[in-house]
């Protein structure tokens, strides 16, 4: 059996991280009005042995918090002496949004529509350029952690361009119950990195401004499985759970204004024509049914019970497999995560909607 190669020093922003060393380095993102620098904290964990470079990042949208906790748990459990390759951990990319509990940057732009950015563009474009050129381009793989937007929640899922065989392989290793074969969206980190040949998974779970234990645990376990699959951590002998690939998804929208009463939950199988919710006037004298146009699985939904006509209410995924099988995969997944012996979250954190 060949002896594992020793790793080499990792150079980042003029600093050197030796094999077997970890270091937090500040990446200056912009300056405030006061000329005080605003920086993105980046932790480089350089394993003693050679291997790939993986970035795990969260909070590209500043109000999406589950990923921040996943990164924290990850860096606290990595043994640098057993790590092969280099882990780049970025818990908070959009530091502006994080400080203000906002999805966006101060110029109201979405950072995840601004990659690869420009050195002389808007604030969002400059931040995207700095992060993409200094950090993302250094990676062999990227795991980009997200949640649903404000008042929307997502079933734990991977979104990826599955036409890339290596991206498909690591998506199957992450093993969320549902994997969405999602087209690349111009300006996103995933799109621009994939164009450079860097496999990227976008993990979506839970909703904004919450810590949700099942979503955090599922993400933490999934990241570890990917690290095992790409040879950064010792492989587990446990069989990977199934993930089912959705070939298409669509949003079901409100057909009138009013108060929403939902009848289904995340991960639930729905049939064509099934009533998923009622929308009624405040006094309840008139009521309309919101029905599924075809059978699928609920992978996202609005959590706010007040709706306007046209609001996206349910995100449904459609499969070639039998929906009963998919629903069973979701149930097994939730049970496995609940049974996993992971770090407890602090009191006051909110349970998942699942």
pLDDT digits (tens, 9 = 90+) for 26-69: 999 887 778 888 899 999 999 999 999 999 999 999 999 999 99
Contact present, 177 and 215 (Cβ < 8 Å): no
**Is residue 200 one of the residues assigned to a domain?**
yes
**Is residue 351 one of the residues assigned to a domain?**
no
The SS3 call for residue 53 is strand
Q: Give the containing element (helix H, strand E) for 195.
A: helix 189-195
DSSP conformation letters of 232-297 = SSPPP-SPPPP-EEESEEEEEE-SSSEEEEE---TT-EE-TT-EEEEEE-TTSS-EEEEE-SS-EE
Give the number of other Cβ atoms within 10 Å of residue 43's Cβ. 19
**Is residue 83 one of the residues assigned to a domain?**
yes
DSSP conformation letters of 100-146 = TT-SS-TTS--GGGSTT--TTS-HHHHHHHHHHHHTGGG-SEEEEEE
In angstroms, the CA 147 to CA 341 distance is 23
- Residues 297 and 174 grouped into a single domain: no
Q: Which two tokens stand for residue 166?
A: 């290596």
User: Model's pTM, two decimal places?
Assistant: 0.94
- Bigger pLDDT: 222 or 286? 222
Cis-peptide into 116, omega within 30 deg: yes
- Residues 240 and 259 grouped into a single domain: no
Which residue range(s) make up the domain with 277?
A: 248-318
pLDDT-derived band of residue 4, with 50, 70 and 90 as boundaries?
Answer: confident
Q: How many domains does the chain have?
A: 2
Write the pLDDT tens digit of every residue in 317-350: 999 877 788 889 999 998 888 887 565 544 333 3
**Is residue 339 one of the residues assigned to a domain?**
no
- Residues 75 and 224 grouped into a single domain: yes
Write the pLDDT tens digit of every residue in 119-157: 999 999 999 999 999 999 999 999 999 999 999 999 999
- State the distance between the two ends of the chain, measured CA to CA, in whole angstroms: 46
- Residues 106 and 233 grouped into a single domain: yes
| Mean pLDDT of the chain, nearest integer | 92
141 contacts: CB under 8 Å, gap ≥ 6: 52, 53, 54, 55, 170, 198, 199, 200, 226, 230
Domain of residue 191, CATH code: 3.40.630.10
In angstroms, the CA 62 to CA 45 distance is 24
**Is residue 306 one of the residues assigned to a domain?**
yes
């Amino acid at each position: 059996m060949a002896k594992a190669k020793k790793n080499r020093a990792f150079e980042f922003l003029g600093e050197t991280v030796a094999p077997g060393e970890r270091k937090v380095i500040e990446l200056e993102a912009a300056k405030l009005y006061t000329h005080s620098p605003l920086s993105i904290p980046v932790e480089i964990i350089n394993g003693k042995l050679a291997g790939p470079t993986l970035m795990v990042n969260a909070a590209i949208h500043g109000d999406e918090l589950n990923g921040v906790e996943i990164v924290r748990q990850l860096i606290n459990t990595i043994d640098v002496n057993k790590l092969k390759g280099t882990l780049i951990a970025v818990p908070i990319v959009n530091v502006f949004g994080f400080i203000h509990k906002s999805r966006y940057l101060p110029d109201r732009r979405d950072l995840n529509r601004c990659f690869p950015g420009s050195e002389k563009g808007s604030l969002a474009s400059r931040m995207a350029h700095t992060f993409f050129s200094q950090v993302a381009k250094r990676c062999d793989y990227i795991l980009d952690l997200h949640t649903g937007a404000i008042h929307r929640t997502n079933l734990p899922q991977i979104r990826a361009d599955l036409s890339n065989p290596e991206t498909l392989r690591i998506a199957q290793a992450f093993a969320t119950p549902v994997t969405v074969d999602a087209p690349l969206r111009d300006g996103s980190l995933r799109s621009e990195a994939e164009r450079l040949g860097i496999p990227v998974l976008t993990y979506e779970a839970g909703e904004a401004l919450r810590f949700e234990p099942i979503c955090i645990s599922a993400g933490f376990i999934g990241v570890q499985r990917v690290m095992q699959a790409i040879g950064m951590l010792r492989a587990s002998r446990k069989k990977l759970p199934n993930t089912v690939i959705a070939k298409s998804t669509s949003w079901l929208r409100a057909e009138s204004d009013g108060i929403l009463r939902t009848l289904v939950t995340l991960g639930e199988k729905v049939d064509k024509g099934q009533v998923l919710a009622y929308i009624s006037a405040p006094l309840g004298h008139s009521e309309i049914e919101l029905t599924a146009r075809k059978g699928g699985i609920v992978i996202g939904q609005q959590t706010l019970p007040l709706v306007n006509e046209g609001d996206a209410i349910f995100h449904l995924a459609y499969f070639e497999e039998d929906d009963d099988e998919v629903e069973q995969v979701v149930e097994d997944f939730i049970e496995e995560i609940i049974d996993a012996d992971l770090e407890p979250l602090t009191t006051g954190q909110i349970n998942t909607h699942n």
